[in-house]
Structure 1
Amino acid sequence: MQLKRHLETKHPTLKDKPLDFFKHASVSNRCLETSYYVSKRVAKLGKPHTIAEALILPSAKDICQVMFGENFAQQISDIPLSNDTVSRRISDMASDVKEQFARTGPVQ
């Protein structure tokens, strides 16, 4: 639901694309989506944003390399998880929630 809302508010030109467009998205689109998911987890835990680049990304690469091989591990490297990127993603998601709240008002 949150990803759909993000798509409609931040990427309105893509909102009418068929589902298959997103299923066959390029690696960069999948990496972008993954970056948002990881950033959301970092925000929920209240951890420093550097944890994504310093711990999560290297761990994911190790897991993929051991379980699935170097090719998969290399694909993991393409996920943008720098401190600045994670901070920006969290800020984007927070802004999206604030905009939705402003439109709908408080729950009665």
Structure 2
Amino acid sequence: MGKFVVSKRKNEEFQFNLKATNGQIILSSEGYTTKAACMNGIESVKKNSQDESKFETLEAKNGKHYFNLKATNGQIIGSSQMYESLAGCQNGIQSVMNNAPDAEVVEE
């Protein structure tokens, strides 16, 4: 089962990473000014990750692929790492869909 790891950045903002069972980071958040806002972001990922239409697949200038998960209002709530192939990127989306709903939340 995956887990959300909440941490504090050097600039005092909170962020989370969703990690797959193997420990690989599959989704990273933006920075949040409060821990409460960060926790709301996690709840949003849990909810929106079950709707495939909320995932946006993109190609970077270097040809690598990545995806963003968007909330109902269109705001990005998480971004993936870069993938060599589109297939790898799609596997990443599937991993978020599988791991996010039941992932525990831990703090670093």
State TM-score, norm by structure 1.
0.31
Name the structure with the higher helix share. 1
TM-score (norm 2): 0.31
Max radius of gyration: which structure? Answer: 1
